[in-house]
Structure 1
């Protein structure tokens, strides 16, 4: 029985018995925004983030390299290239422009090649290490894109801030009045 027939059979019985991760050959194109100044820009960025969260980065979008892992693992370490290294140019069209400054600050950034380099040696399987690298890259780009989005405060938060500001202003005024009275009391006394 072919793989397609098996998939159709498992889907037709009681629905799918597995979870598919949505791999897309084309990642969502981010809006061309260098800075998120206006609420419209922020909304466009949020839309892109919600689309990007639902897809995985395909292997064709990055440069893959493999090497021998270091550390314990017996003869497998000496024979098999299980360490996966992913390089992705920071100027890729699917990386948002507004997040690039934040990505330059992350630990995965390599300044000499102007790219993001992620490696993984967590498992003995090359494919699982590649998937781990892709997941790390996805999370890094998402966190950099989200870091620059400013959330608008709610009405309750605005009222709370106004209340605190009024209370601080009243405390400051009462302290100034008290200091003024102390100074006024000093000048009225005759020391002679």
Structure 2
């Protein structure tokens, strides 16, 4: 089990790493060594609670495949180890963000004083604008 938070962990068997050739820095090495990492998390086998899974699917966006897997690619660095660490960090950060339940907004009504202040401000603004108009020549 990979511990994400104190209360949330994912099963290691749900992860699959694939190494591919990366574009970018590396010189001649880039043509012969597979340094890029594709990290695939199967949500069916990850063992996440349903609300966390739903939020994770929403947060994953384009990284969510049609099979219900999350696919994270990392090819920024020249070594496999650093790309593996970056992909794992990105996955853990995504799951951490999904683990935080959104705070439900409780609708409130404006207070009597705030209503009065708003109306007074509107009246003041109206008087100011009315004063800008043409005056009567009488």
- Which band: TM-score by shorter chain? 0.5 to 0.7
> What is aligned with 1:123?
77
Distance in 1 (CA, whole Å) between partners of 2:37 and 2:115 is 59
Q: Counterpart of 1:75? A: 28
Structure 1 residues 27, 102: CA separation in 2 closer, same or farther (over 3 Å shift)? Answer: same
Bigger relative contact order, structure 1 or 2, given CA contacts below 8 A and separation 6+?
2
Q: Distance in 1 between matches of 2:54 and 2:11?
A: 23
Q: CA deviation at 1:127?
A: 1.6
1:142 aligns with 2:102: no
Q: Taking structure 1 as the reference length, what is the TM-score of the superposition?
A: 0.50
Structure 2 residue aligned with 1:102, among 41, 44, 55? Answer: 55
C-alpha separation between the residues in 2 aligned to 1:71 and 1:126? 14
Q: Which has the higher helix share?
A: 1
Q: Which residue of 2 aligns with 1:132?
A: 86
The yes-or-no answer on 1:167 pairing with 2:113 is: yes
Q: Specify every segment of 5 or more residues in structure 2 that has no aligned partner in the other structure, as ranges.
A: 122-138
- Is the 1:84–1:133 Cα contact (8 Å) retained in structure 2? yes
Q: How many residues align?
A: 119
Secondary structure at the counterpart of residue 107 of structure 1: helix
Q: Structure 1 residue 119: deviation in Å?
A: 0.9
1: CA distance, partners of 2:26 / 2:119 = 70
Q: Distance in 1 between matches of 2:103 and 2:5?
A: 14
* Unmatched 5+ stretches in structure 1: 1-25, 29-47, 154-160, 176-192
- Corresponding position: 1:88 with 2:41: yes
TM-score (norm 2): 0.67
1:66 aligns with 2:12: no
> Which is strand-richer, 1 or 2?
2
Query: Are residues 172 and 73 of structure 1, via their aligned partners in 2, closer, same or farther at CA, if it must alter by over 3 Å?
Result: closer
